């Protein structure tokens, strides 16, 4: 099956994943990306990234690879099947990216600045629910989709250093 594609279906959506058995680099036709606001503290960047990607993994099983095991057979949880690219940008860049992700109906997760003051999932959801879409004070955004569409969403963002 060298260089062949497998197709996965979920809830009416179709995605293609590249598989290969040779040593050639794998180039995915999809992209997982996180966009962080550039003025976040280091601990906030790490926290936001972890929260955002957990949303993608929980709703999009096609982004999750196979479970791991070491040479002793000790099992480990599966992880994303492809790299997660992390970007940063201004508050305005993040707001524009959010609008583009919505207009393209890409799977997305948001983290607002209000979530830094809550301490649990219930309060997190309530904090997001309390603000209209165009008023969200975004600290981060995760998106998944076709590479070209995600690239367009991230216009103006730069790779995280």
pLDDT tens-digit map of 96-122 = 999 999 999 999 999 999 999 998 999
CA 90/CA 110 separation, integer angstroms: 15
120 is written with which tokens? 């649990």
* Predicted local confidence at residue 27, as pLDDT: 81
Q: Report residue 157: phi and psi, to 5°.
A: -85, 160
Mean pLDDT for 125-148 is: 96
> pTM of the full predicted structure?
0.81
What mean pLDDT is reported for the chain? 87
Is residue 161 very low, low, confident or very high in pLDDT (cuts 50, 70, 90)?
confident
Per-residue pLDDT of 33-44, as tens digits, reads 999 999 999 999
* Predicted local confidence at residue 50, as pLDDT: 95
pLDDT at 7 over 50: no
């Amino acid at each position: 099956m060298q260089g062949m594609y497998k197709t996965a279906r979920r809830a009416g959506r179709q995605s293609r994943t590249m598989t290969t058995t040779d040593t050639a680099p794998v180039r995915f036709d999809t992209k997982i990306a996180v966009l962080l606001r550039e003025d976040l503290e280091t601990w906030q960047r790490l926290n936001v990234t972890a929260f955002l990607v957990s949303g993608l993994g929980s709703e999009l099983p096609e982004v999750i690879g196979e479970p791991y095991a070491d040479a002793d057979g000790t099992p480990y949880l599966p992880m994303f099947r492809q790299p997660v690219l992390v970007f940063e940008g201004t508050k305005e860049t993040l707001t524009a990216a959010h609008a583009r992700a919505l207009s393209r109906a890409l799977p997305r997760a948001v983290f607002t600045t209000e979530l830094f003051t809550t301490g649990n999932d219930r309060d997190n959801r309530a904090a997001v629910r309390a603000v209209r879409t165009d008023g969200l004070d975004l600290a981060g955004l995760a998106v998944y989709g076709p590479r070209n569409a995600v690239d367009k969403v991230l216009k103006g963002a730069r790779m995280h250093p």
